[in-house]
Chain A
Amino acid sequence: MKALEIVSAIRSGGATATSVLEATLARIHAHDGAINAFTAVTAERAQREAAAIDALKAQGRPLPPLAGVPYAVKNLFDVEGLPTLAGSRLHEKRSPAARDATLVARMRDAGAILVGALNMDAYAYGFTTENTAYGPTRNPHDPERSAGGSSGGSAAAVAAGMVPLALGSDTNGSIRVPSSLCGVFGLKPTYGRLPRTGSFPFVHSLDHLGAFGMGSEDVAACYDAMQGPDANDHACAQRPVAPVLPELARGAGGLRIARLGGYFDAHAGDEARAASRCAAEVFELAAEIELPEVERARAAAFVISAAEGGSLHRETLQRDYGGFEPHNRDRFLAGALTPAAWYVKAQKFRAWFAERCRELFTRFDVLIAPATPVVAQPLGTEWLELQGRRLPLRPSLGLLTQPISCVGLPVMTVPIAGVSALPIGVQLIAAPWREDLCLRAAHQLEQAGVARWEPA
């Protein structure tokens, strides 16, 4: 069941939070051995939270908006009582988190039931969730293939139907890439919208938190529950809550939509281009435009990530290189050597590019682009053949997402049905702080039958 269907069933008395939880734990037990999305299952906590919802219902008291909805979080979120792994075995020795991350606390307050922590690329530097310490997360649509990353556990858990909602992080595409490859809906809000307090960082300038779900209404409800200021996150914009769920019924009527060509077509395979065209066809009069200097925007995100990520882990690499994830320890170390001039120029370029995007959004409300160049690739794949070029796969899966998160724009990724045997998604991109527009466009695609979650 989807999240809001669960809430309705519990409200009407057709189910209890405890019965929903039992079914969820049974599904995790039955399916996660083959998928490896979970690194911890928090059954005792979940039972306490579910019992509290059932007690509210028994007392006839009002139920919160996500009452009884099971969810799980990427293991870089603090969960009281668990060490925050951030995908690294080095963190197992750390003290358990003393309190929940802000977003986990807000989900708890909204009545959601935390059932576990989810696998990821170590320290979020990767797009494939090939984690040497905790094993790869497998794609529920084809277990020989990657789920994408770095929030691969989050996308796979939703794709496999183990949970209706999951939380993840996105620095360069880590929500959008696994959403695309696993066929789920994923929202990366505007940079600074959702507070990151109590989550392990990767690149402070680019880190976003967001949500995965089986449809736009579920994702909107989850996002609404997590909004709001938090003075403990310096980058949080401290904006008031602006609920989007009530906006979805408006659809995309009146929105000015454009499909991004140019760079986004040149770096996409046939299926990804077909998905982007298929989405655009739903919106009559959708224009086709080019965003200037996209390749340099990707370069800026790449350089900033290398420099800040390398700086963050420099001392750990000096102390314990051997204990670090083999897939990315050399990338982090190379990043620690980044010249300051490159980093500063990248930050200046980013400001310039953000201005070009702002100009574009005076003419358009939502931009459509493919989310990944290709569908999920077999685990262990090193190279990607794309329009006659041979590219290293792991960094290249973010070719289409990195330029957008570089300037913090809100993006909803939706799975496009019927263009390929394996899932592939498109990005619906709006101006800063206009998550409502991304979600309205997503809802329209769902209503048209073009975007949909399909069980793996």
Chain B
Amino acid sequence: MTADATTAYVEVVACAQGFELSAEQVARIAAIFARTAEMAELLMEFDLPESAEPAPLFRP
């Protein structure tokens, strides 16, 4: 994600979830979110077999 896209995402999604954030808060949270996005990129680019299932087990 570009820096602008990250800031826009944080603004829109935080607003959709009912957070009212100042510009300073958005900037701080976007910087943190950008680190998570870097981590997520490592995961999203990694090919897993179609059969891969999420780790948690639900036991009804």
For B55, what are the chain A residues with a Cβ–Cβ distance below 8 Å? 205, 347-348, 350-351, 354
Q: Are B36 and A333 in contact (CB under 8 A)?
A: no
Chain B residues 4-49 with CB under 8 Å of chain A are 9-10, 13-14, 17-19, 25, 28-29, 32-33, 35-36, 39-40, 42-44, 46, 48
Chain A contact residues: helix, strand, loop or mixed: helix
Q: How many A-B residue pairs have CB under 8 A?
A: 86
Stretch in A13-21, A153-161, A294-302 with 4+ CB within 8 Å of B: A294-302
Q: Is A317 an interface residue (CB 8 A)?
A: yes
Minimum distance in angstroms from B4 CB to a CB of chain A = 16
Complex formed: what's the CA distance from A335 to B19 in Å? 13
Q: Is A99 an interface residue (CB 8 A)?
A: no
Cβ-neighbour of B28 out of A205, A302, A330 (below 8 A) = A330
Cβ-neighbour of B13 out of A337, A344, A350, A354 (below 8 A) = A337
Minimum distance in angstroms from B5 CB to a CB of chain A = 12
Question: How many B residues, CB 8 Å from partner?
Answer: 27
* Minimum CB distance partner of A335 in chain B: B36
Central interface residue in B39, B46, B55, by most chain A CB within 10 Å: B55
Minimum distance in angstroms from B56 CB to a CB of chain A = 6
Q: Are B52 and A351 in contact (CB under 8 A)?
A: yes
Q: Are A342 and B46 in contact (CB under 8 A)?
A: no
Do A205 and B56 form a contact, CB below 8 Å, given A302-B36, A330-B32, A337-B14?
Answer: yes
Complex formed: what's the CA distance from A304 to B58 in Å? 17
Q: Is A227 an interface residue (CB 8 A)?
A: no
Q: Are B39 and A333 in contact (CB under 8 A)?
A: no
Do A338 and B36 form a contact, CB below 8 Å, given A234-B59, A333-B14, A348-B48?
Answer: yes
For B14, what are the chain A residues with a Cβ–Cβ distance below 8 Å? 333, 337
* Minimum CB distance partner of B34 in chain A: A334
Cβ-neighbour of B29 out of A333, A342, A344 (below 8 A) = A333
For B19, what are the chain A residues with a Cβ–Cβ distance below 8 Å? 317-318, 333
Q: Is A313 an interface residue (CB 8 A)?
A: no
For B54, what are the chain A residues with a Cβ–Cβ distance below 8 Å? 344, 347-348, 350-351
User: What are 24 inter-chain pairs, A to B, with CB distance below 8 A?
Assistant: A293-B46, A296-B42, A299-B39, A299-B42, A302-B36, A306-B36, A330-B28, A331-B32, A333-B14, A333-B25, A334-B36, A336-B17, A337-B10, A337-B13, A338-B36, A342-B43, A345-B44, A346-B40, A347-B55, A348-B52, A348-B55, A349-B43, A349-B48, A354-B55
Chain A to chain B: the 5 pairs with minimum beta-carbon distance, closest first: A347-B54, A299-B39, A342-B40, A334-B32, A350-B55
**Given A205-B55, A337-B14, list of 20 further CB < 8 A pairs?**
A295-B42, A303-B40, A306-B36, A317-B19, A318-B17, A318-B18, A333-B14, A333-B25, A333-B29, A334-B29, A336-B17, A337-B17, A345-B43, A345-B44, A345-B48, A348-B48, A348-B54, A348-B55, A349-B43, A349-B52
